[in-house]
Chain A
Amino acid sequence: MKNWYKIGFLVINLALCYDLMGQDMTDTITINEVQIIEKASFDNVPGQKREIIKLSKILQSNALTISEVLNTQSLVNVRNYGASGISTISVRGAGASHTSVVWNGFNIQSFQNGQFDFSTLPIGASDKIALVYGGTGAQIGSGSIGGTLFVDNEIDFGDELDVQTQFLAGSYKRFNQYASAQYRSEKFATRLSFLNDQSENNFTYKNRTRFRTPIDTVKNGAIRRLSATSNTKIKTGDRSDLNFHLWATKQDAKDPGTMLSPARGHYTKTDNVRLAGVWKWNHKNIDAEVRSAYLYNHMEYAGDVTSDHYTHNQINELSLASHWNQFLWKLAVNQSIEWINSSDLTENPQRQKQALYGMIQRKWKYIEGVVIMRQEMVSHEAIPFTPAAGLDIFMSKNITFSTFVSRSYKLPTFNDLYWTGWGNPNLNSEDALNSEASIKYRRWKERNSFQIKLGGFRNQIKDIIIWLPQGTIWRPENLESVLSYGLEFESEIKHKFSSEMGITANGQYTWVKSMNEGKQLIYIPEHKAGINLLFTYRDFMISYSHIYTGNRYTDKLNMLKPLARFNTADIRVAQSFSKNQYKFNVAGAVKNVYNATYEVIQYIPTPPINFELSITITYKQ
C-alpha cells in the first residue's frame, strides 16, 4: 500500500509538474482572427492539417484560456482535472504527452513529465495561434506525435502608443485583472503586460459517491495566477532586426481532491521564466535567423509527501531559408541542453540534443508538395531518422485534396529515466507513423461563403512507455502499442445580411478509435461534435457554442460502465463603443447554460451554470 502513495504521487506529479501561466498583450480589439504561425517550419506545409484558431471579437477575453477555446473551436479532446487542476489535450486519440506546444518557435513541453497545462495559457498570451494535427516530429522534434499548438508573439514597427486594461468578475469569486501598454516607433516597438487571475472555485455539486448523495462544496480549490510578458523588437539595420520575448509566471494552485478523496490541504506552487531572443536578417530571397531561448520551471508540491523540482532548458538554433519562383528550401541546426535539480530524481541529470533539419517545398500549377527531414542526436546517440512528406492537389477551383505522411517520436521524460530507484535509463523513444488524407470543398460569393472538409487519419505509435509493477516498486518499459484512426468532418457557413450584420455558423464532428490490444484507450471519446453560432450587428455580438462529448471508458479493459456522454453550452455577448481615443468593450458570458451535471474526468466535479462579466478599456494615441 505504501507504494501506491508513491505511484499516486508520481501520477499527480506527472500531471502537475508543469504549470505555467502567461499573458502577453494582444490587440484583441482590432484583430478579428489570429493567424497561423509556424516558426519551426514554413507557414504553409502542404498536406498537413492546420487549424487557425479563429477568435471573433466576442471571444477575445484576455481571461479565456486556450483549453476553453480549443474545446469549442476544434476537434481535440480537452481534459480538465478539476477546478484548480491542470488541463491537457488529446489530439486524434494520442496521449496528453503527445501534444507539444511551440512558443515563438521553441518547444515548451516539459521534458520532465512530457506535459503542458493548457489551462494556464490565456488567449491574450499570443498574437497568433494554430493547431497542427498529426505528427510534426520532422519539424518540431520530440513529443509532437498527436499534434502541436503553435503560440506566437509578434510586434511590428509603427507610430503608436496604446494602453489597455480589463477587469473581469465571475462566479465562485473569480477576479481577473489585466493591463498592458504598447509603444511602437520606426525602429523600436515594445509591449508589456500583466495579468492577475484568481478564483476560489467553491461551487456546489451533488456528490454521487457518498452515502445518501449529499450536496458538497468544493473545498481547497482556490487558484491564483500572476504573469508578466514583454515583447520587444529593435531595428538593427536595413535588413535585420532583433526580437526579445519574456514570459514570467507564478501560480499557486490548491488541490481540492475529488468526489472520492476529500481535500487534505495539498497544493502546488509553480514559477516559470521563459526568455527568447531572435535575430532576423533578410536579403533579397534569403532569410537567416539566429535564435536562442532559456526556459526555467520550478514546481513545489506539498501533499502527503513533498517534492521540489527545478528544470532548465537552453536552446540555440541557426536557420537559413531561401525562396524563388515556386521553390522553397530551409536548413536549420539546433542545439539544446536540458537539466534538472529534483528531490525525486537521481543526481541532477542532464541531456544534450543536436538536430539537423531540412525542408524542400515546391509549387506547381495544380500541385504543391513538401519533403522534410530531421536527424537528431541525443546525448551523442542518433535517434531514428524522422522524415515527412505532404501534397496538396488543387483538383478544381473549389476542391483541394491533401495528404501527409510523417514519422514522429517522443523521447523518454526525465521522470521515466531518472526517478530515484524506479526510473529506467535504458528506455527508447516512442516511435510513431502518421498518415492522413482529406478533401476540402470551398465556395464563396460576395456575401456568402461555404466550406466543408472531410478527412481521415491513422497513427501507429510503438514502444509507448508505461509504468509496470516489479515486485514492490514500479518501472517504466517500452511495451505498449496504440493504433489510432478516425474521421474528421468540419463545415462553415458565413453570410452577410448587410455591411453591418452577419452570421457565422460552423460545426465539427470527429470519430476516433484509439486502440490498445483491441480496447479503446481511457478518456478518449469515440464521438465528439460541436457547433458554434455567431451573430454580429455593428458593435454588438452574441455567440452560442455547444459541445457534445461521447462516452469514455475509464478502465483499461473497457469492462466498467463508461463515463456518461454529456452536452455543454455557453452563451457570450459583447458590446463595444468608442469615444475619442478610448474604446470600451463590455462582455458577459453564461457558461454551462443548461446547468448540466457532467464529469470530464471521473469523480472530478465540474461547475454548474456560472457567469462572467468584464469591461475592457483601450486607449490609443
Chain B
Amino acid sequence: MLPLLISFVGCSPKESETTGNYEKGILILNEGLFNSGTADITHYLNNITQQNVFSQTNNRPLGDIGQSMTYYDGKYYIVVNNSNKIEVVDMDFVSIAAFENLTLPRYIQFANGKGYVSSWANDGQVYVIEPATGAVLKTISTDPGSEKMLLHDNMLYVANSGGYGSSNTISIINTNTDSVEVTLEVGSNPIDLVIDTQRNLWVLLAGQYDASWTEVEGAGLVKIAPQTNQILETIAFESSTGTANSLCTNGQDLFYNYNGGIHKMSIDATIAPSAPAISGQFYKLYLNASKLYACDAGDYSTPGKVLIYNQTEQLATDTIHAGITPSYILFRN
C-alpha cells in the first residue's frame, strides 16, 4: 500500500519520524545555474522560508545541478547530477556522507534495503547501492536516459527518457534479483510515471523535437497494466513547442506540465485535454495534499519561485520564493 500512497501524492514520500530542524515542511531543491555551483535547498514551514540551507549549514556549495532528493532512514539523499554525487545529510542538514562514485545520477529509490540510482551514464543504467556507504553493489543496464523510477510490488519501473539522444522504452527491474525483467516499448522519451487508484501504471511521454527544433511530436500518456505489462491505452497529445514533464496524480486525475500550462485529465479519459487547466510556463510540477506546486524558474539565472494552486483555479493561492531554478520538491508533512 505504501508505494501506492507515494504515487497518489505524486512526489511526496513520507517516512518514519526523526527529529531535526528540517524534518518537517516543504524542501525545495534548486537546480542552480549550470557550472555555477548555485544548487541549494529552500525550506518552507509555517510561512517561514529559509534559503541556502545546505551551504549555510555546511559552509560549502551543494554542487552543480541539484537533480532530486529523497528521504530514507532518517536521512536526506540529495542527487547532484553534474557533480556525479549524492550528498547525504541528517535532519539538521549536516553532511553525513557524499557518494562520489556515481556518474550522472538522476533519481534515487529505496527497496529491500538497497538504493537504486538512475543514471544517464553508459547509455542508461541503474546503480544498486548500499544506502549507508554508497558502495555500488551492481550496475543494471537500461536504455538511454534512465530518469524517474516507481516502485510497485517489488518491481522498479524506470522511465528511459532518452538522455542525450532518444528512447521509447521503460525498463522493469525485479528488486529481488536486481535484473531487468522486461523492457517495454511505450513511445517517445518516457519521462515520468505514476500509479492510479485502479492500480494501473501511467507513463508520460516527453515527446521529441523535430529536426529543426520547432515542434515537439510524440508526447502523450500510456496506460499499462502492471500485472501483465500490457499497454491498455495510448493517448497522444497535440504537437507543441515544448516537451512534456512532471506527471502527478491524486488517484483519480492525472496532472502534467505541457504546452503552456498544467493539464488535468481523468484516469478514465481516452483523449487528452486540448487546453491547460492552469496556464503558465512552468519548469516542473508537483502535487501534495490536493494542492499543485508549480516551479517557476524565471530566467533560470536568478531566483525562481514555487506557485501553489488549487487543482483547477487559474490564480495561485500562495507563493514560495526559492533559489535559482527550483526543480524538485520533497514534502515532509
Contact = CB atoms under 8 A, between A and B. Distances in A.
Interface of A: 1-2, 4-5, 7-8, 11, 208-211, 213, 258-262, 264, 304-305, 346, 420-422, 468-473, 554-557, 559-560, 602-603
B35 interface: yes
B213 A420 contact: yes
Interface string B162-193: 11100000000000000000000000000000
The 6 A-B pairs at the shortest CB distance, nearest first, are namely A421-B213, A471-B242, A472-B242, A211-B98, A8-B34, A260-B64
A602 B37 contact: yes
Contact of B87 (A211, A264, A555, A602): A211
A470 B162 CA distance: 22
B119 interface: no
A557 B302 contact: yes
B243 interface: yes
Give the residue among B65, B97, B106 with the most A Cβ atoms within 10 A.
B65
Contacts of A470: 241
Nearest to B60: A209
B219 to A, nearest CB: 11
B297 interface: yes
A5 B164 contact: yes
Interface of B: 31, 33-38, 60-61, 63-65, 67, 81-84, 87, 95, 97-98, 100, 103-104, 106, 120, 145, 161-164, 209, 211-214, 216, 241-243, 260, 281, 297, 299-303, 324, 327
User: Which secondary structure dominates where chain B touches chain A?
Assistant: loop
B35 A8 contact: yes
Nearest to B189: A2
B31 A261 contact: no
B84 A421 contact: no
B95 A211 contact: yes
Contacts of B301: 555-556
A300 to B, nearest CB: 17
Given A4-B31, A8-B35, A468-B299, A213 B64 contact: no
Contacts of B104: 304
A1 B243 contact: no
Contacts of A209: 37, 60-61, 63
B64 A258 contact: yes
Contacts of A4: 31, 34, 65
A421 B214 contact: yes
A258 B35 contact: yes
Given A1-B81, A208-B60, A209-B61, A473 B242 contact: yes
A234 B138 CA distance: 70
Contacts of A421: 209, 212-214
Contact of A211 (B97, B164, B214): B97
A258 B80 CA distance: 14
Contacts of A555: 33, 36, 38, 301-302, 324
Given A4-B31, A261-B35, A210 B212 contact: no
A211 B63 CA distance: 11
A605 to B, nearest CB: 13
A213 B162 CA distance: 35
20 contacts: A1-B67, A2-B164, A2-B243, A8-B35, A8-B82, A211-B98, A211-B100, A213-B60, A258-B64, A260-B63, A261-B84, A420-B211, A471-B241, A471-B260, A471-B281, A555-B36, A555-B301, A555-B302, A602-B37, A603-B35
A557 B164 contact: no
Contacts of A210: 60, 98, 100
Give the residue among A4, A264, A422 with the most B Cβ atoms within 10 A.
A4
A211 B60 CA distance: 8
Contacts of A556: 301-302
Contacts of B281: 469, 471
B31 A422 contact: no
A124 B54 CA distance: 48
A264 B103 contact: yes
Contacts of A8: 34-35, 82
Contacts of A2: 145, 161-164, 243
A554 B35 CA distance: 11
A54 B36 CA distance: 36
Nearest to B245: A472
Give the residue among B97, B301, B303 with the most A Cβ atoms within 10 A.
B301
A420 B213 CA distance: 7
B212 A420 contact: yes
A469 B300 contact: yes
Nearest to B64: A260
A472 B243 contact: yes
A464 to B, nearest CB: 14
Contact of A260 (B67, B83, B103, B162): B83
Give the residue among B37, B120, B216 with the most A Cβ atoms within 10 A.
B37
Contacts of A262: 83-84, 100
A11 B35 contact: yes
Given A259-B37, A421-B212, 16 more contacts: A1-B31, A2-B162, A4-B31, A4-B34, A4-B65, A7-B34, A11-B34, A260-B64, A304-B120, A420-B212, A421-B209, A470-B241, A471-B281, A555-B33, A555-B302, A603-B37
B63 to A, nearest CB: 5
A260 B61 contact: yes
